[in-house]
Amino acid sequence: MELKDINAQIDKLMADATAIEKRWEGKADPMTKEDQDNLSAILGKVDEWQSQADLVKRKQKNASFMDDPQAKPVATSGHWRNSAPGEGDTDIDPLAWRSIKSQVVQVDPIFGVPVVTEREVRYHVPLAVQVKGYNHAFESYLRKGVNDVGPQDRKTLTEGVDSAGGFLVPEDYQVELIKKIATMATIRNRARVATTGRDLAKWPKVNYTTDDKYTSGVRLTWTGEAPSSSTAHRVTDPQFGLYSIPVHTAMASFPMSNDLIEDSAFDILGISSDLLAEAFTLDENNAFINGSGVGRPMGMLTQVDGDGPASVVSGSGSTLTADGIIDLIYALPAQYEANAVTIMSKATEKVIRKLKDSQNNYLWPVWPQVGNFGVSPRELLGYPVFRDEFMPAIASNAYPVIHGDLRGYLVLDRVGLSIQRLTDSAYAELNLTGLLARKRVGGQTIEPWRLKAHKIST
């Protein structure tokens, strides 16, 4: 219906309302209940027509919005901050741990073909989302908002309210998000992942730097049948400290068309989990590699030669060298080679691929099929290579390559992921609804001896 037709309906209704009021002008008696009910019904219809008129005006004003490729709804992350005290606190049920098998598609390093591998992921389900009917109530909230869901759904939702203003996601949504993140994550998939219900975790730190043979100062003492003294076993007691690993809040927001949200056939849960998985995965990777530790996780490369990995120089102040790469690979202690991988950007991998010997042969060989450009293994000196575009580019004093066992890095997940529905004027005027997700996560290198960073330096 066009705007002029809607206005005509409003004018007609207002004329009827005015006629009722005029019948009682100047009379001492109050308006009869019948006329009061009629007047109330007319004004209610006026409100309905005015709401429809507002929608038509918004659509006319922004008719080209959804047709503009630059204005398509996209997920945006990139906003990290320190978690507020108690933010996202949830009731913890010690028995509410779950485990799922997550499938990850990787490229076989020898034959270059996709291979599906499985890994077990454990996660915690907050008590609030285990309430019967929570899944349905949560989907209704995303589509309609808390004020327009039924009274039973509203009551159910109150169990999962987040202190930051959103609602905890149901278990099925959480599982779907975990699976999707697992297919894209470079660091999280290979790091040590733990879950906490607090805003800060203390992790044991071993102060042992004597050599690379041991991970701590703990040693066996061969005492024989009769120890020489009651304290003979204590001479090698290690020096322990503690890492303080704070949990930080990451937020991702994205707009969705109201027309789609109101369409019951539109999979709002599936689409939103797709967008959130991509946003969180990319920004987490960046934070786990380069994070400053201020309002976001501490990245592996932020503490090189400190509490992070030790550096191995490339042998050149401006680029990579074959000798430097060999030094990097062999700097890792042998006991960590079983799970070792090499992380670099695609541009860095290209530079290594193009290294040649004095006979102009590639040092990283290609297979002889198809004119020397057949499928070649993505292995560097026997270790799988994984690309991550958040790794630094090759530049003086940069760290473009990480090699080692990524379980030396701890990803600390806070229980609970929440989503809040936004309907303020910034979205409403464009016939959109915003969805804001909050996730709390921390990160820290806890076993730096498992990792080495390659530094562009002489």
Which pLDDT does position 64 carry in this prediction? Answer: 43
For residues 121 and 186, give the distance between their C-alpha atoms in angstroms, rounded to a whole number.
15
Sign of CA dihedral 153, 158, 162, 165: positive
Q: Which tokens is 357 given?
A: 């010997």
Catalogue the E-assigned strands of 197-284. 200-206, 240-246, 248-257
Question: What is residue 327's three-state secondary structure?
Answer: helix
Nearest to 83 by CA among 282, 250, 243: 250
Which pLDDT does position 451 carry in this prediction? Answer: 96
Query: What residue has token string 């073909």?
Result: 113
Which pLDDT does position 66 carry in this prediction? Answer: 40
For residues 297 and 285, give the distance between their C-alpha atoms in angstroms, rounded to a whole number.
10
Which pLDDT does position 302 carry in this prediction? Answer: 95
Which pLDDT does position 300 carry in this prediction? Answer: 96
For residues 368 and 405, give the distance between their C-alpha atoms in angstroms, rounded to a whole number.
32
Domain coordinates in residue numbering, the chain: 3-26+33-61
Over residues 188-216, the pLDDT tens digits come to: 889 998 888 778 888 888 776 667 777 76
For residues 371 and 367, give the distance between their C-alpha atoms in angstroms, rounded to a whole number.
9
* Contact present, 163 and 87 (Cβ < 8 Å): yes
Over residues 129-162, the pLDDT tens digits come to: 777 888 888 888 888 887 778 888 877 777 677 6
What predicted TM-score, i.e. pTM, was given to this entire model? 0.69
Over residues 342-397, the pLDDT tens digits come to: 999 999 999 999 999 888 888 887 665 555 555 566 789 989 999 999 999 999 99
Over residues 19-57, the pLDDT tens digits come to: 888 888 878 778 888 888 788 788 878 877 777 777 677
Question: What is residue 3's three-state secondary structure?
Answer: helix
Query: What residue has token string 């789609």?
Result: 260
Higher-confidence residue of 438 and 164: namely: 438
Over residues 225-256, the pLDDT tens digits come to: 777 776 655 655 566 778 889 999 888 888 88
